[in-house]
Amino acid sequence: MPKRWLIGLASGSSGDGVDAALLEAEGVGLELRVHPVLAVHQPYARDLRNLITQVAASVQSETKHAGLLHRLLGETFAAAARQVADRASLSLQKVQCLGCPGHTVWHEAEGRFPSTLALGMAAVVAERTGVTTVSDFCSRDLVVGGLGAPPITLPDYLLFHHPEENRALIHLGSLARLTYLPAGGRLAQTLSFDVCPCNALLDGLMQQLTAGKEAFDQGGKHGVQGCCIEALLQRWHAHSYFLRRPPKSMARQNFAGEFVSQAVQMAHQASLSLHDVVCTATHFVSRTIGEAIRRFLPKDVPLQHVLLSGGGVRNGLLWHLLEQQLAGITLDKTDRFGVPSEARKALGFGMLAALTMDGVPANVPSSTGAAGARILGTLTPGSSANWARCLNWMAAQMAPLASEE
């Protein structure tokens, strides 16, 4: 049995540093025998040690809630996986792998140390379903200089690119995200970026302006009754993000609570009605999308088809305003091409999980700005039988590559 070299890492609760141990190993499984070769201690820098102490001391309550949310989201993701298999009358034992990106609570792609955090315990999903779970798709791209988003550009390319038709995909979710697929284009010619806040802004305004009585503007019924306040729209539009060229990724926290609160405060000061504020916000979303298409997509290659997805497709006013912004271009839901408009992201993450199993790099540097393409995701093994099948599958995909070397 050949020897193996292993490295173990640990950070003590005292918060003084990281311990690293190099091991020489023989044997497999319960016959594993190791010989410690070397151990080192990497002290935390003073600033990092102080930050650890500060976080541990001041936000224990928040950390407890985050930990609980991490677990409960995992349970909820697992229940959804079981439900979709049950409704399709398919045994989970037949499922190879599962893509679970979690719920993103923090994403900051700029600065010295870009970071991202998604909650939803992958171990819970793998345990409850027995299916090997692939999670954390964004981190690897961040580490190699990318923005970590958009994450499903490659699945979008595989699903929607066309040899003769220039297409754009617009996802109307928490953020509005634009993906450009030139006719017959290669993956490296694909462009995808966050355009502006969408439902995060519209829903946030509704919740604050109605004191929580309405979670969103159903069908656009409030917005359609108002008037667009041009001064307010221009104030929102003055943000530097909207002028920057892609690749770019929006720090959604910059357009969440405080941004919405300031908008509500301005509305109260100007004696604007609920309808006017929501109408203005809906115009802001549609106009920003239209300007992004005109400013950042190739001007000599006109778009022929725009496909919409996300919860925003149910907002009739937003759809109407997008038709005005994109006059002469056919608008459709992604449903027309077999992809449910409100399940496009879930489908994309399932494809990312498969690409991870296949050993295929799945980030798109032309969209994220990463230094190179990387295999994405973290694997959490499912049942022993499922994990064995995954290992056999991955070994089979890697065999042709090994034979070429």
Q: 57: pLDDT confidence band, cut at 50, 70 and 90?
A: low
Check pLDDT > 60 for residue 398: yes
Q: Dihedral angle at the C-alpha atoms of 84, 89, 90, 91, nearest 10 degrees?
A: 100
Could you write out the DSSP letters of every residue in 276-309?
Answer: HHHHHHHHHHHHHHHHHHHHHS-TTS---EEEEE
DSSP string, 52-107: HHHHHHH-HHHHHHHHHHHHHHHHHHHHHHHHHHHHTT--GGG--EEE---EEEEE
Q: How confident is the model at residue 334 (pLDDT cuts 50, 70, 90)?
A: very high
Q: What DSSP state is assigned to residue 204?
A: H
Residue 7 CA to its chain's centroid (Å): 31
| Structure tokens that stand for 71 in this block | 């677990």
**pLDDT higher than 80, residue 236:** yes
Whole-number pLDDT of residue 55: 65
CA distance 405 to 400: 9
Burial class (CB in 10 A: 0-12, 13-18, 19+), 162: middle
Q: What CA–CA distance (Å, rounded) separates 404 from 389?
A: 24
Strand order in the sheet with 132-135: 97-99, 132-135, 378-380
Q: How far apart are the first and last CA of the chain?
A: 24
Q: Encoding tokens for residue 384?
A: 């022993």
Whole-model pTM: value is: 0.87
- pLDDT higher than 70, residue 402: no
Q: 23 has which bridge partners?
A: 6, 36
Are 198 and 311 spatial neighbours (Cβ–Cβ below 8 Å)? no
- The mean of the pLDDT values for the chain is 88
pLDDT at 7 (0 to 100):
80
pLDDT surpassing 70 at residue 1: no
Query: Would you place residue 298 in the very low, low, confident or very high pLDDT band (cuts 50, 70, 90)?
Result: very high
d(CA 298, CA 309): 22
In degrees rounded to 5, what are phi and psi of residue 373? -80, 140
What's the mean pLDDT in 69-80?
89
For the chain, which domains are there?
Answer: 4-49 (no CATH), 64-149+346-404 (3.30.420.40), 154-328 (3.30.420.40)
Q: What is the mean pLDDT of residues 30-57?
A: 77
Q: Is the pLDDT of residue 13 over 60?
A: no
Say if residues 79 and 92 touch (Cβ distance below 8 Å): no
Query: What's residue 259's pLDDT?
Result: 77
Q: How big is the chain, counted in residues? A: 405
| Residue range 308-324: mean pLDDT, rounded | 96
- How does DSSP classify residue 273? -
Cα–Cα–Cα angle for 389, 391, 394, rounded to 5 degrees: 110
Residue found by looking up tokens 């104030």 in the block: 235
Give the containing element (helix H, strand E) for 116: strand 115-119
Q: Please give the average per-residue pLDDT across 223-247, as a whole number.
A: 92
pLDDT in tens, 103-129: 888 889 988 899 998 888 999 999 999
pLDDT value of residue 405: 58
Paired sense of beta strands 191-197 and 175-181, if any = antiparallel
What would the mean pLDDT of 183-208 be, rounded to a whole number?
Answer: 92
